[in-house]
Amino acid sequence: MYSLSEVARVHTTLGPTDVDHLQRLVANWGLLADLSFTDLLLFAATDAGSPRQYVVLAQVRPTTSQTLYRADLVGTLVSADERPLVDRCHRSGEATGADEVVQGEDVPHSVRAVPVRHGGRVIGVLISEGLPSGGRRHGELETAYLNAFGHLARMVAVGEFPFPGTEDPLKELPRVGDGVILLDADGRVQYSSPNAVSALHRLGVVIQVEGATFGQLGLDEGVVRTSIGQRRPATLELSRGTHTNVLVHAVPLLRRNAVVGVLLVLRDISDLRRLDRLLVSKDTHIREIHHRVKNNLQTISSLLRIQARRLSLPEAREAIEESVRRIGSIAVVHETLSREAGDDVPFSDIARPIIRMVEESLVSPERPVLFRLVGDTPTLPADVATPLALVLTELLQNTVDHAYRGPAAVTDGAEPGEVVVTVTGPVELDGRASVTVEVCDDGVGLPQGFSLDTSTGLGLSIVRTLVCNELEGSIVLTDRADGQPGTLVTVTVPVTRDVD
């Protein structure tokens, strides 16, 4: 299916502002098709000179009546001879008066042509095509709808409809299904469709609406006042309790620049609002669950700590304390998720508490270590944040355990050690957004002949498994690149899922 702008570009010489005007018209014309009970076709002259030719830029079917066209006609070219009414309207700039009945393919059609004016020029022709009424008298609803259509068609012909504006030209007016109300120039209800009466009923209006203003009906008059006072469309949501929400679109009906009435199109958005509320409460539930998981992890940590205190073997105690820290780093992620809406966590929100945890529990008074967090502040999905929090805990734990301890480390009177955590990203790497975390210390450096593949420590095995298997990333441990003593650990992980 072609878009209006594509067809206009290929077949016509219409400029961008004309195309924008036609797009605004088409965004709103489902309503016009409903009000006129007809199919609408929008024609524009092609750039082929003679014989004159027209192209169908857009087509819409009514929801209030049967369609004459099962086929999609957008992009179809017709000659002036095939569509004499289009040609006549385009040349004269005049709407055809009463509906003309022409012999269609198999049944007679009632056709009406309306010039589409913009900036004083005719830039297209709107054709309204339906079954002829055959002398049948119109009912009240039909009369009111046709009346409103007549107003809007006249506004199209003089360039007053669609309204210019800064709003998105593709934002659509609703169809008539949920109700239509016609007001006179003073804002009094002239006609209300049965669906509109029901919608007002749901909003608590139980009195006769005809002849009353919105104010007299106990409804907010703002939307009516704006559309009459400022001669521009306006939208307002009316609600009653938490179960009825109706969006009211007000379209002023103009004649020679004066407001002669207002067309109100209602849209029942109660279901939409209910879903909104449901989503908000789901989000609250998910956060509550993260909060409980965090509490449970803290309880586990406390139990382990109690057990550690009863042990006399220092290694056993240390092993349990390490587990407590690992559990603590997972709790940090859940704590953050219990505060954030959605599934994403800012990296700094997990890095800072982890650094604090390591500072509090590990650093010895003989050799203080300062930690710094620098670089970008990426946001991570929860399933990346949890493993990465564990990885960071292990790497920071290692700096304190190994970089500033042991026979090679200077202790007494030395400057405090400095560990810098640098975050970079997200940057594109092999087609995936990736984040790099560097942990750089100024300690004793890696042991001679150290290799990650042959290292048997538990900490780095956890890191390797999480980074390489779970996060599909990479890890490198080296001496510092600037020739200073110390170790640099670089972890790079993709933060978006591989779509292939």
Ligand X SMILES: Nc1ncnc2c1ncn2[C@@H]1O[C@H](COP(=O)(O)OP(=O)(O)OP(=O)(O)O)[C@@H](O)[C@H]1O
Site string for ligand X, 441-480 (x = CB under 6 A): x-xx-xx-------x-xxxx--------------------
322 binds, among ligand X, Mg ion, none (CB under 5 to 8 A by kind): ligand X
Stretch 413-442 residues interacting with ligand X (CB under 6 A): 441
In sequence order, the 6+-apart residues with CB closer than 8 A to the CB of 362 are 397, 400, 401
The DSSP code for 403 is I
CA angle 115, 121, 126 (to 5 degrees): 20
**28 or 398, CB closer to Mg ion?**
398
CB of 311 to ligand X, least distance (A): 16
What spatial distance separates the first Cα and last Cα of the chain, rounded to whole Å? 28
CA separation for the pair 400, 239 (Å, rounded): 61
CB of 322 to ligand X, least distance (A): 6
φ/ψ of 160, rounded to 5, equals: -90, -15
Helix (H, G, I), strand (E, B) or coil at 102: strand
321 binds ligand X (CB under 6 A): no
CB of 457 to Mg ion, least distance (A): 5
**154 or 405, CB closer to ligand X?**
405
Residue pointed to by tokens 């080296």: 478
CB of 481 to Mg ion, least distance (A): 22
446 binds, among Mg ion, ligand X, none (CB under 5 to 8 A by kind): ligand X
Candidates 128, 398, 434, 492; binder of ligand X (CB under 6 A) is: 398
418 binds, among ligand X, Mg ion, none (CB under 5 to 8 A by kind): none
245 binds, among ligand X, Mg ion, none (CB under 5 to 8 A by kind): none
402 binds ligand X (CB under 6 A): yes
432-440 sheet: strands from edge to edge: 369-375, 417-429, 432-440, 487-494, 474-479
CB of 298 to ligand X, least distance (A): 22
180 residue type, one letter: V
How many residues belong to the site for ligand X (CB under 6 A)? 18
487 binds, among ligand X, Mg ion, none (CB under 5 to 8 A by kind): ligand X
Stretch 362-421 residues interacting with Mg ion (CB under 5 A): 398
434 binds, among Mg ion, ligand X, none (CB under 5 to 8 A by kind): none
CB of 411 to ligand X, least distance (A): 15
CB-based contact 243:270 (threshold 8 Å): yes
CB of 419 to ligand X, least distance (A): 8
CB-based contact 246:224 (threshold 8 Å): no
416 binds, among Mg ion, ligand X, none (CB under 5 to 8 A by kind): none
Q: Which stretch binds Mg ion (CB under 5 A): 24-32, 266-274, 298-306, 456-464?
A: 456-464
Q: H or E element: which one contains 55?
A: strand 53-60
- From 448, 451, 445, select the one nearest 464 (Cα to Cα): 451
Longest Cα–Cα distance of the chain, Å, equals 108
Helix (H, G, I), strand (E, B) or coil at 92: helix
CB-based contact 40:48 (threshold 8 Å): no
Candidates 459, 473, 486, 494; binder of Mg ion (CB under 5 A) is: 459
CB of 317 to ligand X, least distance (A): 13
Q: Which stretch binds ligand X (CB under 6 A): 56-64, 203-211, 286-294, 397-405?
A: 397-405
CA separation for the pair 383, 194 (Å, rounded): 52
CA separation for the pair 237, 267 (Å, rounded): 9
Q: Which two tokens stand for residue 328?
A: 């603590």
**Binding stretches for Mg ion (CB under 5 A):** 398, 459
Q: Contact residues for ligand X (CB under 6 A)?
A: 322, 394, 398-399, 401-403, 441, 443-444, 446-447, 455, 457-460, 487
